[in-house]
Amino acid sequence: DYRDNGSLHYLDQMKMNIYESAIYECGKILANYDSDQVYPVYGFGAVIPGVDKQTNHCFPLTLSPDEDANIHGLQNILTTYRMNLPKLQFAGPTYFEPLLSTIFTLVASTDVPGFNQYNIVLILTDGTINDMQQTIDLLVASSSLPVSLIIIGIGNDDFTQMEQLDSDGRTLMSSNGRCSYRDIVQFVE
C-alpha cells in the first residue's frame, strides 16, 4: 500500500521512494542515449480496479484506455508513476513473460535493417518471478534482437532468479535446449 511508510512504493510528499529514486537515477543516465526522449513505460503485477479483476501482467503505466504507453521525458515518467500508483493494487503472482513479450514485439517491429537503433529495457522488481522457464525461453528466443535488459532489484527480497537471468559466466539455455545468442540481461541489486 503506497500509504504505508514501510512499503517500497510509499508516497512521501517530501522525498522520492526507492522506486522513484531508481527511475530517476537510471533514467537520467539512459536518457542521454535517447534522441526523442519518448519512452514506452509499462507496469506489471497489479490489479487496476474498475478495469481488471485479476492481476495484470503488462499494462501501460499511463493507464490509457487506448493502450498508449509512451511518456515524454523522465520527469513525466515520475509524475505518471506518482499520479497512477494510488489507482493500482499490487498483487501476485509475478510474471515477466507478458511484459517481455510486449517489449520484444515492440523492439522487433522497430528493427529496421540499416538503421542503427538499440533498445535498453529497465525493469524494476522487488522479488521472485513465477514464470521463470517461460521468461528464459523468451530471453533466449529474443537474444538476437537489438535490445538489452537492466533489471534493478528493489528492496531486500531473494533475487536468486534475477541473477540466474543475468547468466554471467554461462549461457542461458531454453527448455528446448537452444542457447542464447548473447547475454542480454544485467541484474543490479
Phi, psi (deg, nearest 5) at residue 182? -160, 165
CA–CA distance, 84 with 9 (Å, rounded to integer): 12
What does the pLDDT look like over 147-180, one tens digit per residue?
999 999 999 989 999 999 998 888 999 999 999 9
Query: Tens digit of pLDDT for each residue in 107-156?
Result: 988 866 667 789 999 999 998 899 999 999 999 999 999 999 999 999 99
What radius of gyration do the chain's Cα atoms show?
A: 16
Q: What is the pLDDT of residues 17-30, one digit of tens each?
A: 999 999 999 999 99
Element (H, E) at 46: strand 46-47
Integer Cα distance of 137 and 176 in angstroms: 8
66-104 pLDDT, tens digit per residue, is: 889 999 999 999 999 999 999 999 998 999 999 999 999
H or E stretch covering 32: none
Instruction: Report pLDDT for 12.
Output: 94
Quick one: which of 55, 59, 57 has its CA closest to 41? 59
What's the predicted TM-score (pTM) here?
0.92
